[in-house]
A and B are shown apart, each in its own frame.
Chain A
Amino acid sequence: MAKDLVDLVVAKPAKRNTKRRRTGKEKFWLIFRYVSLIFIWFLVVMPIYVMVINSLKGVKNVYLTNAFKLPEKLDFSAWSVAWSGTDYFPQSISESMSRTLFFVIQSSIISAIIGSINGYVFAKWKFKGSNLIFTLFLFGMFIPYQAIMIPLVRIATTLDINRSIYVLVLAHIIYGIPICTLIFRNYYEAIPNELIEAARVDKASMVRTYRSIILPLSIPAFVVVLIWQFTSAWNDFLFAIFLTGGSPKLSVATTALNFITGSSNQVYYGVNMTASLIVSLPTLIVYIFLGRYFLRGLLSGSLKG
């Protein structure tokens, strides 16, 4: 069975010398480690801290010179401005957010279904050349998408789907095939072959085996793929900017945010920070609740998970 990287990451190392008192040197190193860990923790948290506190200072009164200072009084006005816009800040992110949610959910679900079927075949019903084809799939995961982008935009324009959000649904499904197949294949490889053999002896067909044996065992892998596809499609900027041509009618979370913060609204830092925070919240919430599954997806990308 393939070694599972996530289990290694979260493994508790074997306890040694449990009952013994720590020597002075060991104490020193323990304190040193904690001090370093806390120092790194501050660095890692800093940008989120900056986002949060500056989103609570209101629309004005947000300056770089007080970027790290806590607000004197809580003011949520930047939240409503970032969410729905006002006269002087016409771009809002609410519409883009719901559009993103709409397309991301669809593409993740379809990706997961395709990935599961492919993974099942590549793990348990290998055919001649299947390993080679699988490796050719994997290459598709590493390519810079710029190398296919211009023809892809042409196809979308010719088919006249470049004015619909479905162009992004399709793009994320198609280019998600490699990673989704990989995650499911690795997961199914760990299912004992005896189970499949037993079903085969009972004359269960391939589809039947999938439905009655594999699918019920697949829930964790589905969670991994769903949140992986959700996070990467939500955070994607490259496909969105090329395929929608930056059209405001098709703006998604990242393109809208880039438009807001990159344009003339540079002065409204409070709103910029709030908008960034709002756009980051869905993926952050998923991470907070399903971090271990997210990590599994992440490590699959290294081909070792």
Chain B
Amino acid sequence: MSKAVRNKRSLSARVGGLFFVLPSIITVIIFVYGLIVWSINVSLTNQNSGAKKEIEYVGLKNYTDLLVDERFTHSLLNLVKFTVVFILGALITGFIMALLLEKGIKGEGFFRSFYLYPMAISFIAMGTVFNWLLNSARDEEAGGLNLALQKIGLGFLQNDWYVSEKGAMYAMALPAIWQMSGYVLALFLAGFRGIPDDLREAARVDGASESQIYRHVLFPQLTPTLLTVLIILGHISMKAFDLIIGINGKSYVTQVVAVYMWEATFDKRDYAKGTAIAIVLLIMIAIVVVPYLRYNNKQQAYR
């Protein structure tokens, strides 16, 4: 077969490939990128209520308004508190789980299966349980987690949980950690087991102690996994919505950015503000995710 013929064929094959994914490409262009542009467009107008009126462009007014909107800054601060505690908590818990399992232990499959099941359950269903268990009643009236803490002699840890003035967001992070630690466990377990056994063996032969092997041989190898975990937890955290709604509804104390967007859109019909909040959220997430996608894309190219 001459080279020219082969090239011709592969050209038609290439166009053929494009032909089959074209419907999806168009769909994604319209419904992801097109609608984002549309949202940005709405956020630059005066559509601040359900009432019909002449649409006017007001520039960045809806964005500058957010900066001085106490409810928005409150929800943003809440999100920051939640994110810090959630990421640290899920990271540490998941990592400890992985450390306990990575060497292999009898019954590993049993523990691993249980540790991962929360991922299969909706935040709304779990929220119902945590809404109940994290009740703020204390001492004699206490039930749920407060009662459990008394029973095991940690009564001083009793808490107002998600209704407390200062600690509501930290309390909110507990169910989130509960739900997501399994994911972190799975990622780290894969990370540990992707490290060639020879590395460990070599260090052992060189007389390194177990703790030295972990610190100097294994942990450095887990840096890419750590990066992945941080990105995944970060974008999940910033999107926190049904977890919050499931436990505490739209309550002001635990309002985060996504919930505030819902309130502005649904209750106030302030579409301009709703889209502005959503675009701010999108930018926050893009800052975290886009570099990761680019890094991932580059790695793919080397394969």
Contact with B along A256-273 (1 / 0, CB 8 A): 011001100000010011
B193 touches A279 (CB 8 A): no
By a CB distance below 8 angstroms, the chain A residues around B261 are 146
> Helix, strand, loop or mixed for chain A's interface?
helix
Confirm or deny: B300 has a beta carbon within 8 angstroms of a beta carbon on chain A: yes
Confirm or deny: A44 has a beta carbon within 8 angstroms of a beta carbon on chain B: yes
B143 touches A65 (CB 8 A): yes
Residue of B178, B265, B271, B297 near A44 (CB, 8 A) is B178
B28 touches A137 (CB 8 A): yes
B17 touches A126 (CB 8 A): yes
Confirm or deny: A294 has a beta carbon within 8 angstroms of a beta carbon on chain B: yes
By a CB distance below 8 angstroms, the chain B residues around A284 are 117, 120-121
B13 touches A125 (CB 8 A): yes
By a CB distance below 8 angstroms, the chain B residues around A219 are none
A147 touches B282 (CB 8 A): yes
What is the size category of the interface that chain A forms with chain B? 35 or more
- Contacts A144-B281, A149-B278: A127 and B14 contacting too (C-beta < 8 A)? yes
Residue of A64, A127, A206 near B137 (CB, 8 A) is A64
- Chain A residues near B (Cβ < 8 Å): 2-3, 5-6, 8-15, 30, 33-34, 36-37, 40-41, 43-45, 47-48, 50-51, 63-68, 114, 117-118, 120-122, 125-128, 130-133, 135-140, 142-144, 146-152, 174-175, 177-178, 181, 200, 206, 231, 234-238, 241-242, 253-254, 257-258, 261-262, 269, 272-273, 275-277, 279-280, 283-284, 286-287, 291, 294-295, 298-299, 301-304
- Chain B residues near A (Cβ < 8 Å): 13-18, 20-21, 24-25, 27-28, 31-33, 35-36, 38-39, 42, 93, 96-97, 100-105, 107, 109, 111-133, 135, 137, 141-144, 147-148, 178, 182-183, 186-187, 189-190, 193-194, 197, 228, 232, 235, 238-239, 241-242, 245-246, 249, 258, 261-262, 265, 271, 274-275, 277-279, 281-282, 285-286, 289-290, 292-294, 296-297, 300-301, 303
9 A-B pairs (CB sep. < 8 Å): A12-B104, A15-B104, A127-B14, A139-B289, A151-B35, A151-B42, A277-B125, A291-B113, A291-B116
